[in-house]
Amino acid sequence: MKTLLKAVQISDGSSPHHKQIKDVLLDNNQLLKVEDHLSEEDSDQIIECKNLILTPGFFDPNVHFGEPGFEDRETISNGLQVAQQSGFSEIALVASTQPVIDHAYVMENLQQKAKNSKVKLHVIPALTHGLKSKDLAELFEMHEYGAIGFSDDDQPIKNTNLLKLALQYTLNFNGLVHSFPVEKDIQGLAQVHESPTSTLLGLKSAPSLAETLQVSRDLAVLEYTGGRLHIPLISTKESVRLIQEAKSKGLDVSCSVSINQLFFTDESLNEFDTNFKLNPPLREKSDQEALIQGVKDGIIDFVTSHHRPMNIEHKFLEFEHAKSGSIGLESYFGAMNKLFGTEKALEVIQQSRKVYGLASTSIEEGERIALNLIDPNIKWNFTKKDILSKSKNAIFMNEELVGKVIQTFY
């Protein structure tokens, strides 16, 4: 079916039509024509796009569903539908499933489950067998099967020599090693960030040192070995500074932050709402400000939804017994747009492709790419009816957001 988008603003830094208002004729997701004015005769559907924006589909490389092993949290099939309706044309699953994604056959099985989806499924399998930080998994074999990186999810690499070996080994095929930034011995059984808020709440806490000590270690190893290192989900102002210094030295390091850390602080914990229990934990206002500035300055490479479904029996508990995590795909663009404004938000959203070496996309005639039609100005409250995921653990519940993906062409 041919769709004519009338007077739509194009937002795509790689397109020759960036920031221009054009008529766009689509056949599903193929761009047939991009011109100032197009006849309506050749189209089956006409969409008046005053104040709407056309942009490439999003990519999020830090997504959890559950399947295999935790299908009660989310399935591959429904999770990919959620991603599509939220504006994501590509996502990458991390390895914390059952069985753990630490062999090529598990990757192949997941890819088979997603073969009929309009959303492309990438996999970031485990760096170590069983996420146990003892032995490296079959990294090259999984790379051959399409792994775009290797990660033990939110389990840190305890053995420093193992990190050294991983960085040296993956040099042979330009693999991307992830290292979650927490020092477990300092974190201990902490539930939240150590701050005046944690003292008032009486919850077990750990200082920012639990993160920054690990970041310092990882960067020192990277400087020795070379290779490519990604530090996911940083949450402290000290981490921003350390990574900025490492980049200025020329180290091949990238990092990400969760939208949750940019939108909320540990003051949100005052009601003991377990939707705000996260790993890494919510930090103080000064950390939040440094993280936002780090995104604006390009020190932080991209912002992830950190979509982590959790079934109700693991969330509807006392705070100290509840598991960490929140869904985030459905609320992602509205939160990013509210924080950064549309132009900067869309620029940042596309940065994750560069980190993982994915093919760039461009809105121009003849291309066949996933596209989002966005209303950047609509204000809306995120409520239960907006949740498409099987799990309902949403940190953005009842928050006012700005901007929404209103249609996708995938």
* Residue 393 pLDDT class (50, 70, 90 cuts): very high
Phi, psi of 200 (to 5 degrees): -65, -35
pLDDT of amino acid 399? 97
How far apart, in Å, are the Cα atoms of 9 and each of 14, 63, 176, 187? 14, 29, 35, 47
**Cβ burial 248-284 (10 Å sphere, 16+ → b, else e):** eeebebbbbbbbbbbbbbbeebeeeebbbbbbbbbbb
Rounded mean pLDDT of 168-174?
A: 97
Amino acid (one-letter) located at 91: I
pLDDT higher than 90, residue 28 = no
**Residues in a beta bridge with 256:** 302
User: Residue 113 in 3-state DSSP?
Assistant: helix
Q: Which domains, ranges and CATH numbers included, belong to the chain?
A: 2-54+364-409 (2.30.40.10), 58-355 (3.20.20.140)
d(CA 379, CA 400): 7
- Please indicate, yes or no, whether the overall pTM of this predicted structure exceeds 0.85: yes
125: which residues sit within 8 A by CB, 6+ positions away?
Answer: 95, 101, 102, 103, 106, 107, 137, 142, 147, 150, 151
pLDDT of amino acid 16? 95
* Residue 134 pLDDT class (50, 70, 90 cuts): very high
Q: pLDDT per residue over 43-77, tens digit each?
A: 899 999 999 999 999 999 999 999 999 999 999 99
d(CA 218, CA 201): 32
How far apart, in Å, are the Cα atoms of 359 and each of 90, 230, 371? 11, 19, 15
* Residue 41 pLDDT class (50, 70, 90 cuts): confident
191: its two tokens: 């539930």
Q: pLDDT per residue over 285-297, tens digit each?
A: 999 999 999 999 9
Q: What percent of the chain has pLDDT over 70?
A: 100
Contact by Cβ (8 Å): 387, 72 = no
Rounded mean pLDDT of 89-117?
A: 95
* Residue 11 pLDDT class (50, 70, 90 cuts): very high
pLDDT higher than 90, residue 1 = no
pLDDT of amino acid 196? 95
* Residue 150 pLDDT class (50, 70, 90 cuts): very high
Pairing mode, if any, of strands 120-124 and 205-206? unpaired
pLDDT of amino acid 359? 86
Q: pLDDT per residue over 311-368, tens digit each?
A: 999 999 999 999 999 999 999 999 999 999 999 999 999 999 999 999 888 999 999 9
pLDDT of amino acid 96? 93
Percent helix, strand, coil in the chain (nearest 5)? 35, 25, 40
d(CA 129, CA 162): 12
Amino acid (one-letter) located at 267: E
pLDDT of amino acid 29? 83
User: Residue 256 in 3-state DSSP?
Assistant: strand
pLDDT of amino acid 300? 98
pLDDT higher than 90, residue 25 = yes
Contact by Cβ (8 Å): 147, 357 = no
How far apart, in Å, are the Cα atoms of 12 and each of 56, 258, 361, 376? 7, 23, 9, 15
User: Residue 192 in 3-state DSSP?
Assistant: strand
Element (H, E) at 112: helix 104-113
pLDDT higher than 90, residue 164 = yes
Average pLDDT value over all residues in the chain: 96
Contact by Cβ (8 Å): 305, 60 = yes
Q: pLDDT per residue over 232-283, tens digit each?
A: 999 999 999 999 999 999 999 999 999 999 999 999 999 999 999 999 999 9
Phi, psi of 382 (to 5 degrees): -80, 115
pLDDT higher than 90, residue 99 = yes
Rounded mean pLDDT of 112-119?
A: 94
d(CA 101, CA 278): 23
